[in-house]
Structures are given as C-alpha cells and as structure tokens.
Structure 1
Amino acid sequence: MDYYYGLVLFICCWIPGFGKLPAPINVTMDSFNFKNTLRWTQPADLEGDVIYIVEYKIDIPSNRVAYKRICITHEQQCHSSVITYRSYVRVKARKYSDESDWVTIHFDPYEETIIGAPDVTVSSRSGHLDVSFKGPLVGAELESLKMKYGELIYRVLYWKESDPAHVLNVSTSQSQDTLRDLEAWTVYCVKVRAYVPEYNKSGEFSPAICKETTNNESRKPSAPINVTMESFNFRNTLRWKKPDDLEGDVIYIVEYKMYVTLLFYMEHAPLICMEATNSSIFNIL
C-alpha cells in the first residue's frame, strides 16, 4: 500500500506536465491608434475559477531585459497600451496552484496598429475648396500621429458628386490644402486619410464631405417662390415664400407695369398691340 501511495506522490510532484492546465488559444493583439488590447480564448476543457497573467518585454538584443506584468485578470482580454515599441507578449492560465504554459506572440504597434481617419473640415472660397485636417490622436496619452511616426502625409481624394467614378487626388505633408481648378457652382466630395511612408502604411478614410463651389463673384440670390396675388374687392396683396437657401437680412422689391392689348379691325389696318407703364394713355400709330 505504501508503495502505491509513494508512486502516486512521485507522479504528481515530479513528472513534468502532470496536472498542467491547457494554455489559452487564439491569442491576438487588437490595436487601433496605438490603443492595444490582447485577447484570447479559454480552452473548452478549462473550467472553474481561472485567472490569466499577461506580461511583456521589449524586443531588443539584451539578456537583461525581463518580462513586466501587465494584467492579472479573470477576463479573456488585457488592455496593453503600455506597449509602445515592438515587444514579446505572453499569457498563461492559472487555477489554484496549477498553471498552463506561456503562449507568446510578437507585436510591433508601429506596423500592426490600425490608423484611424483624421478629422476633416471643408470650406468653399472664391471658386476653391479649402481642406484642413488633423489627427488622428493616438495612444493612451493622445499624442499626434506625426509625433509617433515622424514623417506623415495626408492623401486627399476628391470628385464631382455627379461623377463619382472620376476621382482626383493630391498629397501634402501640411495640415491643410486648397483644391483649385474646380468648376463653379458644382458639388465636390472630399475624403482624406493619413499615410506613413516609412512603413508604407495607410490609415482609414474620413467620411466623405460634399460642398458646392462658388466663383469669384457673389452668387445671385435665389428668387422668391410660390408668388401669388390675393384680391378681395379689388384690394390686392402679393404674397411669396422665401427660398430655403436664402438666409440673412433679406429685403424684397415689388414693382408692376400695366400691360394692355387693344384689338380692333380697320380696313387695310394691321393688328396693333400697345404697352404703357403706369399709364392708361395709348396712342394709335
């Protein structure tokens, strides 16, 4: 009996892997604008009160670099925005005194993070479109993307709203640009994304913004609409409605002229039409 008890104790304590937990699976790092989250899946045969430990170390050629702990959690994810350089990241499961093997992945936020869309504003001026953009802001401390990568280019795509298949583009390293040589009184749509030349990496496009161009002159105001004359017992009132696109301090000018047509027959005489303004006097030529 003592022999079998000793054998079981030996197996439990000395044979490697006995009682070891299954390791987390599907370990991936999600990263958007340098905000990182390590995610994994709990194995189907791992149940009960399980905690996970997440650590990382920077990927540099040195034996003195040790792993640093990020999370001890019951969840199947760990916010890892503390990682700002290429690193090794690992996770393991623990249940009471039992542990799994580490699962390690390599992660480089500069290459793998998804770059979001910049904030874009578009304004119409003298036949041009002025486009300005900023961001996106990245990381836990909301740094500028240019501070992260150094060189940053904005790629601007624009097209006529009526002809979306014909897309033009310009690139700039500045925070604004002016789209010129546009057709007057035409609606153009604009979208912008950031591009990092060093990593040949493009960000997401901003939503399209559509604006109408003007020209170098002031635009003729829209005419009044629904113009009608109300008349009761020869008391007349002209009424109209203001167009939807007409704003600000607007005045209206009302004029009239009398239009009279006289029809009569004279032997060997033509049909005569005569017009007078603000007068009821007509002369027959």
Structure 2
Amino acid sequence: MTPYVSGIVPKPQNAKIISVNLHSILQWDAPTLYEGNISYTVQSKSINFPGDAYENVSTNLRLTECDVSSLSAYGDYILQVRAESENNHSDWVTVRFKPMDDTDIGPPDVKVKSESGSLHVDFIGPFAEHEHDKWPLKQYYGSWNYRILYWKKGSYTEVAHIDTKHNSEILSQLEPWTIYCIQVQAVIPEWNKTGRLSGELCEQTTHNGVTPVWIIVTILTGSMLVVVVSVPACFFSFLYLYRLTKHVFCPSYIFPQHLKEFLSKPPSGSQFFSPLPQEEQLFYAKLTVISEESKNHCDETGDEARKIPEQLQDSEQEDSDSSIVLASEKA
C-alpha cells in the first residue's frame, strides 16, 4: 500500500454532527481550491478508554457525510475525518460526539379531538431508528415528560401549558365554540433537554355540556306552571266528559209509561175514531132486585121493567149515531 503524504491536500471544512432521535450523521464541506479527485476516511475513538486507538468507521467515501448511528448511544467519542487524493491526504479534522447529549429530540405524533367542550390530545413517540427497528426514545432516557402548549387562535401571547407523563391529556375548562391551537414537545429534566415542537394543530371546542343556572330555573318554573295549569284543566275536562256520557247513556228523566205503550202498539185506523179502545168499551144493564114484599108490585112494575131495556137500547142507538156524525165531521 502506497503511503499517503500529509499536508498536500486541503482538509475538510465545517465538520459537524447532525443527530435527531439518535440517528447521527457526521457532515463536512469539501476542501476548496483543489481540483483533484478526493475521497474521505472517518474514524472514531472512545474517550472513556484513552488507551484505545482510532477505529475506522468508513473509508473511501465519495460523499461529504458519514452515518455514525452504529456507535453506542451511551458512549462519548472523538470523531475525525480527512480528505485523500492519490497518495496524498489532508490533516485530520476532529469532532466531539456524545450521542445522548448531542442528539435532538424530535416532535411526537399528535392527534386532537374535540368532545363535550374539551380537547382530547393523544401523542406518541418520537422513536429511535436503529437497523430498521424503532424504539421509543424515552426508553433510552428514563425520565420523560410531555409538555402541551395551547392557546386561542390568534392570541399567541397567552400560551398555557400542561406537563404530563402519560401519552394523552384532556384539556378542560375551555371556552365553548372557540378555536384552540396545540403543540406538544418532549421534556427531559435530568438531561436538561427539550424536544422539538410538533406541528400546530387547531381545533374548535363544542358546547361544554354544562347548563347555566338561569336555564335550569327557567325550565323548572315552566314545568311547575304547566303542572299547575294542566292538572285542573284535566280534572274539569274529565268531569265534563263524565257528565256528558252519563247524560247520553243514562238520562235522568223517565219516559212516560202511557207514551211507551202508545208508541209500542202498531198504528190502527179505528184508534183515531174510537173514544176508547174496543176492549175498554163498557156494556151494562140496570139490575132490579125484587123482594117478596114488593112481589105484589111486580105486575105494576113489569111494564116499567120492560121499558128499561128499550130505553137503554134507544140510548145506545143515539150514542152510535153521535159517533158517526163526529167521525164524519173530522173527515
């Protein structure tokens, strides 16, 4: 292997670590004023073990960055990078890197739902990605809180916040029918770290479900008035219907008996001309009792007794003639 000659190739510029959720990239700028083909080598060394030599992380790189996420999250390292061209190379450029301190905590995923005058906020993450696996970042740090910031839309100077260890929170005591905006971030007190804010989510509250006292009093008063008015009205309506039904089906007067009998008999022409029904016409004769004392007078009165039937017959004849005359006049 041909040895490299140091100092002929300009060294990389602005070397830095970009780390988010323990996904770490070492970046740098290419040397200026050099027209040859350049490649790069990146090495690392743990500060916790000063006697250890540098180890290659990546060699013959053509890009101006290197993924160093494979390093232990709990370690403390010195990273170095140099530029190489043919048999020449630049000086090393070093960067101190402590993953747990240097990584940025990304924003969590947030969902907001409006319900019964409150805002239900759910959040999860962020996650650390390592070799295609995802792990909740709070498992690395142990101490972990979420901070929820919320405010009325347009009132950025009046921002309230709530800290919680859980993955959800209910924002209550909000004004109904008002739009609130929400952002959430992770807070790690032991590491003195604050995560990035989530995107701004705005949601309108609904009615809080609490009925004002004056509405309750109004409803109760109205209900009492309805009861006071409706009970007597129902009573008198029932009494009126009862009396009307009784009057129709159970009348208080009695139909005259003679009218019932008259209406129950079939009509007959003779009833209109006869002063009394046929069965009620009376035929009678004079009865004379003769004792032995008056026997001597029998002969004397015999003639008179024979005259009585004749008189009755004449009387009946006269009554019959009168009835016929009366009927003729009515006709």
TM bucket normalised to smaller: 0.5 to 0.7
Q: Cα gap change, 1:19/1:27 in structure 2, threshold over 3 Å: closer, same or farther? A: closer
Tell me, yes or no, if structure 1 residue 80 matches structure 2 residue 68.
yes
What SS class does the counterpart of residue 48 from structure 1 fall into?
coil
Q: Which is richer in strand?
A: 1
- Aligned pair partner of 1:25 in 1, 13, 35: 13
SS of the residue aligned with 1:82? coil
Distance 2:171 2:7 in 1: 68
Q: CA deviation at 1:182?
A: 1.3
Equivalent residues of 2:7, 2:91 under 8 A apart: no
Question: Aligned pair in 2 of structure 1 residues 125, 153: CA closer, same or farther (>3 Å)?
Answer: same
Bigger Rg, structure 1 or 2: 2
Provide closer, same or farther for how the CA distance between residues 63 and 191 of structure 1 changes in structure 2, counting only shifts above 3 A.
Answer: same
- Aligned AA for 1:166? E
Counterpart CA distance in 1 for 2:156 and 2:167 is 25
Q: Indicate which of 196, 203, 220 corresponds to 2:188.
A: 196
Change (3 A) 1:193 1:71: farther
1:111 equivalent in structure 2: 101
User: Helix, strand or coil: the match of 1:148?
Assistant: helix
8 Å Cα contact 1:157-1:167 kept in structure 2: yes
**1:85-164 residue pairs with structure 2 within 5 A?**
85-140=75-130, 141-164=133-156
1:97 Cα deviation after fit: 2.0
Q: Counterpart of 1:150 in structure 2: which amino acid?
A: G
> Offset at 1:52?
0.4
Change (3 A) 1:179 1:203: same
How big is the shift at 1:35? Answer: 1.6
Counterpart in the other structure of 1:43: 31
Q: Structure 1: 5+ residue runs without aligned partners?
A: 1-12, 219-285
Cα distance in structure 2, aligned partners of 1:203 and 1:71? 33
Matched residues in 1 for 2:180 and 2:67: separation? 41
Q: What is the CA deviation profile of residues 59-99 of structure 1, one whole-angstrom value per residue up to 9, with x for unaligned ones?
A: 21342464232343112111222133321111112222222
CA distance in 2 between partners of 1:137 and 1:18 (Å)? 42
**Under a length normalisation based on structure 2, what TM-score does the superposition of the two structures give?**
0.57
- Residue in 2 aligned with 1:186? 178
SS at structure 2 position matched to 1:139: strand
Distance in 1 (alpha carbons) for counterparts of 2:6 and 2:174: 74
Q: 1:87 to 1:164 in 2, by over 3 A?
A: same
Closer, same or farther in 2 for the Cα pair 1:152/1:65, shift >3 Å? farther
1:90/1:66 Cα in 2 relative to 1: closer, same or farther (>3 Å)?
closer
Task: Please say if residues 32 and 115 of structure 1, whose CA atoms lie closer than 8 Å, have aligned partners that are also in contact.
Answer: yes
Which among 47, 64, 67 is matched to residue 59 of structure 1? 47
Query: Counterpart of 2:82 in structure 1: which amino acid?
Result: K
**Structure 2: distance between partners of 1:211 and 1:71:** 51
Report the TM-score, using the length of structure 1 for normalisation: 0.65
CA deviations 1:20-60 (Å, max 9, x no partner) are: 42222211111122222211122223331211001112221
Distance 1:136 1:101 in 2: 38
Taking the aligned partners of 2:36 and 2:165, their CA distance within structure 1 comes to 54
Distance 1:70 1:58 in 2: 16
Which amino acid letter does the alignment assign opposite residue 95 of structure 1?
Answer: S
Aligned residues: 205
Identity rate, percent: 35
Whose helix proportion is higher, 1 or 2?
A: 2
**How many angstroms apart in 2 are the aligned matches of 1:183 and 1:22?**
63
Aligned counterpart, 1:68: 56
**Equivalents in 2 of 1:168, 1:129: separation in Å?**
14
Distance 1:197 1:31 in 2: 20
CA RMSD of aligned residues (A): 2.5
